[in-house]
Structure 1
């Protein structure tokens, strides 16, 4: 899937902005991916995300994602935020995380 979307981005003469790719986990085995690009991509669903967002950075192995999401929900409640949609930004791939010894994941929640 990443190779297909990369071909579409390249063919459109576009680039990814700050290498931001947000994942929306729609189920345990599926996710929608939103890539920040500098122009619209033909034959792709182009959207603009607007609104207020709250984010928090976590560090550790990918298997801790569920724990981080629970913590994020708790922190948001403490701050009196109502989160209606969450995205995860995996800043490194598994190979890079292993190479650099750090794995930062950002959880971004749309706030009502």
Structure 2
């Protein structure tokens, strides 16, 4: 297994832990992933059609931030960070993609374990914040590695982004 290719950079534990982020019109490319009971069916295809052009244009300078808003058992909206850079033209978006902007306060929490626990962690995080009197609008998921890389690293990190008031 040590010679296996890795497509996802190893997550630096603590780099997104317990942060409060204030975003003012942070730009993302929004696309949709088909799911079967929250299991993504075409995530790679969506990343190729919406993410790859951004990488090729040099609009991801750091490790990309991809957020998933798991709205139903059947689909998730995926938000791919767009690091706009003056002088670099944003490539045309795929017909199924659009621009989205996030403004507001987001609180993060790191979790490690199997993907199946993500919704349990989200519920616990929501309960924890609401017990402190913090209103949670929604929780977005940031899966730090693909399943193959999680297996290679021996850890599966997921960062929760709670949009709060």
The TM-score normalised by the length of structure 1 is 0.87
1:53 to 94, 106, 114: 106
**Which protein is richer in helix relative to its size?**
1
Gaps of 5+ in 1: none
| 1:57-68 alignment, distance < 5 Å | 57-68=110-121
Superimposed CA distance per residue, residues 6-56 of structure 1 (whole angstroms, 9 cap, x where no aligned partner) = 343246552264211000001012101101121255334222212111111
Q: Per-residue CA shift, 1:59-97, capped at 9, x if unaligned?
A: 100011121111111111122111112110000110111
Instruction: Compute the RMSD of aligned alpha carbons.
Output: 1.8
Does the 8 A contact of 2:65 with 2:142 survive in 1? yes
1:100 corresponds to which residue?
A: 153
Determine if contact 1:14/1:41 at 8 Å carries over to the other structure.
no
Query: 2: CA distance between counterparts of 1:81 and 1:67?
Result: 19
Per the alignment, residue 31 of structure 1 pairs with 76
Distance in 1 (CA, whole Å) between partners of 2:118 and 2:126 is 12
TM-score (norm 2): 0.61
2:33 corresponds to: none
List structure 1 runs of 4+ shifted beyond 6 angstroms.
none
* Distance in 2 separating the partners of 1:48 and 1:16: 19
Aligned to 2:132: 79
Q: Which moved more, 1:18-27 or 1:1-10?
A: 1-10
Which protein shows a greater Rg?
A: 2
Q: Retained in 2: the 8 A contact 1:16–1:35?
A: no
In terms of mean alpha carbon deviation, does 12-21 or 80-89 score higher? 12-21
Query: Which segments of 5 or more consecutive residues in structure 2 lack a partner in the other structure?
Result: 1-45, 85-89
